[in-house]
Structure 1
Amino acid sequence: MRGSLVSAEVLEPYAEALMSIAQSQNLTDRIGEDVNYLFDLLKSSEELRLFLSNPIVESQAKKAVLQQLAGEQLHPYTMNILKLLVDRRRILFLEGICEHFQTLLRQIKQTALAEVISAVELTEAQQQAITEKVKGISGAHQVELKTKIDPDLIGGVIIKVGSQVLDASLRGQLRRIGMRLSAG
């Protein structure tokens, strides 16, 4: 319940406001790149996340760090949203806002997000084959692949698109064989 309340009252309005600005100015791709950059920056730096969410750190210090880290790369509209989030003490929700913005952008572009877990790095041909398979399943015009490597799979892949899961891994096949043997 609490997570959905934060989402409905904080994440969605800010992400939707940023999307509204992006669409009205024909900047959806540009601001989408900014959001991806910020999201990657937050995921790669625990220190930055802790710094931004620390209530003791003054707003001006947070704005200065954001300006120094991303100011030159970000569109002024994106930078203004960041400053607004700092002023309203909502900057600690930046990661969630970025995630919700990415979801909105995928909806607008009719893009499906496919999480692909494989035992080894996928080749370009394998990624293309998965992309085509996901397009067929989802009816999306484009597919965004998010790949992850899990050596425990032994071989094959697991593809997650929304609530659908396609388990074509060796581990999954062995588990299904084991279930059949124990049932019979």
Structure 2
Amino acid sequence: MEALSLSYPAVGAIAAAFIAGLTSLLVTILAKDHKVSEFRQEWINDLRNDAAELVSHLSITSLILRYQQMLGDAGKDVPQVEMATYKEFVVAQACILRIRMRLNPKDHSGLLEALQKLDFGPEGTLHHHPHTLRAFTEEVRKVISSEWDSIKKGEPWVRAVKFSAIATILLSVCAVGWKLVAS
């Protein structure tokens, strides 16, 4: 019985096909990772915009209410600003809802707790202490920083695939080089 032997051209063709397949897989994974990073970047920008809009509207509302209270305490006529306050309330409530729908309760519990303190539900109020607004802003910064780190590093499974692909290619090159040197 004659042993099956592979010639160098056949081994080369098989190795080339294997490397081409790995390269194609790696390119596909990197393209997907890039698209996920784009979506995450958009998510970060939207969260930042909504948080800034929310804090600015709540700050304006607090200033309006303090101004009304100061005038009332001084015995002066209080201008009718209910309509302005109502508009601020509507915009702030929309921001709160958009932010809440973006967040995952498992991953963003600190920000959701800070957001709950700003909500106008049964326990909420239109007057917010600056400390509460700063605490919310700090929680937003933490979430954005964490998401930026994820973008920079990439998803853990993508890093593992990249490492595996590079290791496989290097091992393949070393094996082919050793085979050439040994013969």
- If the length of structure 1 is used for normalisation, what is the TM-score? 0.22
Relative contact order, CA 8 A, sep 6+: which one is greater? 2
More helix by share: 2
- If the length of structure 2 is used for normalisation, what is the TM-score? 0.22
More strand by share: 1
